[in-house]
Structure 1
């Protein structure tokens, strides 16, 4: 839509944002500079441009000075641009004849110790904003029909609860799971944090509720073949991994709940070489099946394949609390078992600090080693394992002959998740998990509008967090 051929009359409003901007940037100098730019007929400063008083000033200036373009130099457009567009519209100006210049994040915050440089940069950004405003054309918003249906990719605990929440709101949901059964990693767990409830007591009612819902169409042993379209109108093709049959449907929104997998600690501490070296997830499986390891002495090693200088650089986040939980379960089942947890440092968050305290009370030993001096593992003639480690806190070397060695590797992204990211055209972060649009303001949105993420597809987290995020996404 072309603007009428009328002389440009631009108004510039520069915000102090209290001292966030004004404490560094010379705002009066920026206003004076802006007033001399081509086609600028009005320039002023405001203590808080987002305040009711300042918004009223913008409306008055638009009417009194007959402004046909407005530039606001303030904080972040992410939170405030909609407010200023509405203000322009209320004054009779097309909301798309508005330009936002961020001089807080781009100037005062990043150059807080360089006021002169910050001011000069603010002037340059305002000049560019005014130049861009001269090229703006009025736009007309249009409406398109939106499919009142949703796709949930992944049938783990977060995917199931996202589907249930959508279904309870009256929306048709298509739930696609690559495995033959719903449940994801929850099917492999024994007890859950933070209260030690059995996983089956959470899993069973969740699966039953999903299967009982008339609003949820379940595709097990299936995967997404293709996704095309845009927010409100996605065309989805699902293919059965058993029959090859394809099913096509349209949805308005997509929730990614593809989960994660435990990193396989190949060639670390004898894993894959010695039968009595297992992972925490494998230990959970044994406990769930009632196969209590007949061990008198157990060693657990943390940060296996995590917090590396290259490769998996991040903290697994839930590995420490899982190890503490399983160690306490083993102590509960066999009070005489001797357990050592070898770690670079134990990281528990929230209520999980209680497990750390309980572990000490249960006489579970903690030995801290340095990254450059990891434990050494070898097998003895009787098939037991000898673990040598130096406790950095005591400055003492330990040699532990154990019956079972349990490794704590982190959760990592899997190939199906990476394939889904390519198909959806959304980015993965440095840790290869799905990257949210904004960690603070849009923590469950992905870069493509209409697509959201929940559960461990977004990063390592426990069941309560995964379920909470599922409800947020839905």
Structure 2
């Protein structure tokens, strides 16, 4: 946020909404209504004196109403812009023409009660919708007693409870009596995956953040007893399955059961939960605090915004995009990214944001750079011959660092190091107010070296370097210490040792800072060409995007033709025609004059550096090979993945045991025509979510349901069984899971202790699986096992 706020090429308009979008792609006129904040952003210094004098105290929405704030306040510490605003619903002057204490307190005259709502027109070439989503109202689920007990909190409320800047300063208390809970329960799928709430979809993120919050709670209070009640744990995506395993190893209890009711105990403020486990046993447990990771739903404003922008919503109220153009709305030039097009985890949202920005850049390539402003910095000061004056800034990073490392002790230690003239501790070093503090400290204390001890330089080093440049220092007179990833995170339960290590890391950084010198950055020419490795869907899409932006590129493919895994897809859950899209995509790639397609090619070596790479490739097959050197500025790896070929379940020994994409090929080509005597069995998580491959492959459950539905479409009497550990049909694919059940597909859960057994029989295979619901083996004679 701070980087966006600082950029001379980003105009941030807050407290506003779009009223109309007229014009055409490349030349839109966007009508924006900006509501008054009653504070002049240009004059407000963010000092907070106005809030100190304001007599009106109101619930704080940022802390989910678990704490109080003033009628004039700033939403949170890192807010951009860092300007205060007046809440017109509670301000005494705006409602009764009384008070104006804030006006008298403000030394810069920033308070302006004469501000009115204003409508402005902005001429833009493209529009990106990234309005996000909101949490479902927990009060609508009466059976969970959210309205009746303050100790039933939502996922967002618990996030604020555990935050260092939250209502309890990072201490985990229950709201009713501010006592530390001993037992906490998370109840998954609160408001989602149910027709009752009208949200039949899976919210995609709830399992992930529940596991995260449970781990964070344990880091705060290692003695907590935490239980997570769930239907399916949906930890799909890179790294999340490992996170799930870490939670189980930490002692968090996972119970597969959908909770129907939470009963408050009026005598103790505790909460009683009765639940049934898979074996049919009824259990009763008492918890001090219950967390409801609520369903995510679209903003109600989506309807008016879609009307204003001339785009469509899907059946759930999210912005509609295409399957093969997932960031494009029906109106050319208007793109959609993130949670406003459907629930999704943070990494997906970030990737989509980048993709939408690139899509807009493709459209606007003719005007690229015409409105760009370069940020100017003061002339760099020379301190080469002066006495060393080092400043050390130690970050709490909320509880990420401060919950483990004794930051105050570390700050005091830093003050004793040679050359250090000032040392401070900050709640969030990346916030705008701390950036101002660092800049002012550099100037006032005449610092000539700066050390920041906080999180990762991968994400934040450029931010701090920009700050010291604004104070007149060369950006290389900066050293960053990662006391989060390399200290507090890896030593979460060794607080004393972590503090000692943080001191060591800072001591080494200060020693290095004593020796660093200002460096000049030479300007070199770059090669404005790209190399894309892999000619599948991702590679071809990337190549077309670069070409549409005016950059030449090389697209190399190992096989003899483009298409990759998309060639193995014959139909989709959504009913789209992948073959038609593939052929159109290949045609566009082959006929674009800026794309050089090289098939039957492999990379031999890569040399050079960013902006100037030299890649040696070999082309041809067998003995007829040639070498070629390609010069380019960037590389995009898009070489895809391959289907795992198992050594179990009779695969490779029986013709009746095939992979899912082979089953799809046989169905699409007519090699397999389902009949009423057939049984088809699909076993999920083969070769994944185990010690060798400790991750979820994300697509397998949806692929199995897609094939199951296609079989049922051809012949409703064909028996289809899906054996699974967790069904991970996240997002809107949950609707297809329900459809499969409705159409008679049988789902049987197994676990790693009772994996299915497969033996060969005449005309097929025999699959034996223990059904955990009835605690008995089920034997299925299948014509096809996939």
TM range (shorter): 0.7 to 0.9
Q: In structure 2, do the counterparts of structure 1 residues 169 and 397 end up closer, same or farther at CA, with 3 Å as the change threshold?
A: same
Deviates more, 1:68-77 or 1:358-367: 68-77
Deviates more, 1:221-230 or 1:17-26: 17-26
Q: Does 1:326 align with 2:326?
A: no
Q: Does 1:59 align with 2:439?
A: yes
Q: Does 1:350 align with 2:735?
A: no
Partners of 2:492 and 2:598 lie apart in 1 by: 54
Q: Does 1:38 align with 2:418?
A: yes
Pairwise mapping of residues 359-378 of structure 1 onto structure 2 (< 5 A)? 359-378=740-759
Determine the structure 2 residue equivalent to 1:188.
568
CA offset at residue 44 of structure 1? 3.3
Pairwise mapping of residues 307-326 of structure 1 onto structure 2 (< 5 A)? 307=688, 309-326=690-707
Q: Deviations over 1:150-208 (max 9, x none)?
A: 11111111111010001000011111112222111111221124x13122122111111
Partners of 2:394 and 2:604 lie apart in 1 by: 50
Q: In structure 2, do the counterparts of structure 1 residues 294 and 38 end up closer, same or farther at CA, with 3 Å as the change threshold?
A: closer
Q: Deviations over 1:189-230 (max 9, x none)?
A: 21124x131221221111111112111111122222332222
Q: In structure 2, do the counterparts of structure 1 residues 169 and 33 end up closer, same or farther at CA, with 3 Å as the change threshold?
A: same
Q: Does 1:299 align with 2:680?
A: yes
Does the CA contact (< 8 Å) of 1:306 and 1:316 recur in 2? Answer: no
TM-score (norm 1): 0.77
Where 1:325 maps in the other structure, the secondary structure is: helix
Q: In structure 2, do the counterparts of structure 1 residues 391 and 246 end up closer, same or farther at CA, with 3 Å as the change threshold?
A: same
1:341 maps to which of 722, 731, 736: 722
2:552 maps to which of 165, 168, 172: 172
Where 1:192 maps in the other structure, the secondary structure is: coil
Q: How many matched pairs?
A: 402
Q: Does 1:210 align with 2:589?
A: yes
Q: Deviations over 1:74-113 (max 9, x none)?
A: 3333333222212222222221111222344455555566
Where 1:321 maps in the other structure, the secondary structure is: helix
Deviates more, 1:131-140 or 1:76-85: 76-85
1:237 maps to which of 608, 616, 619: 616
Question: Can you give the 5+ residue segments of structure 1 that lack an aligned partner in the other structure?
Answer: 407-474
Determine the structure 2 residue equivalent to 1:443.
none
Determine the structure 2 residue equivalent to 1:258.
639
Q: Does 1:288 align with 2:679?
A: no
Does the CA contact (< 8 Å) of 2:569 and 2:578 recur in 1? Answer: yes
Determine the structure 2 residue equivalent to 1:472.
none
Partners of 1:230 and 1:19 lie apart in 2 by: 38
Q: In structure 2, do the counterparts of structure 1 residues 248 and 372 end up closer, same or farther at CA, with 3 Å as the change threshold?
A: same
Determine the structure 2 residue equivalent to 1:128.
508
Question: Can you give the 5+ residue segments of structure 2 that lack an aligned partner in the other structure?
Answer: 1-381
Determine the structure 1 residue equivalent to 2:384.
4
Partners of 2:426 and 2:750 lie apart in 1 by: 56
Q: Deviations over 1:255-275 (max 9, x none)?
A: 111111112234x22223322
Partners of 2:496 and 2:650 lie apart in 1 by: 60
Q: Deviations over 1:283-329 (max 9, x none)?
A: 11112223333443223232364236443343332112111110110
Q: In structure 2, do the counterparts of structure 1 residues 34 and 172 end up closer, same or farther at CA, with 3 Å as the change threshold?
A: same
Partners of 2:522 and 2:716 lie apart in 1 by: 68
Partners of 1:314 and 1:394 lie apart in 2 by: 29
2:454 maps to which of 54, 74, 80: 74
Greater RCO (Cα-Cα under 8 Å, separation 6 or more): 1
Partners of 2:658 and 2:681 lie apart in 1 by: 10
1:98 maps to which of 474, 478, 497: 478
CA offset at residue 402 of structure 1? 2.5
TM-score (norm 2): 0.48
Deviates more, 1:99-108 or 1:30-39: 99-108
Determine the structure 1 residue equivalent to 2:766.
386
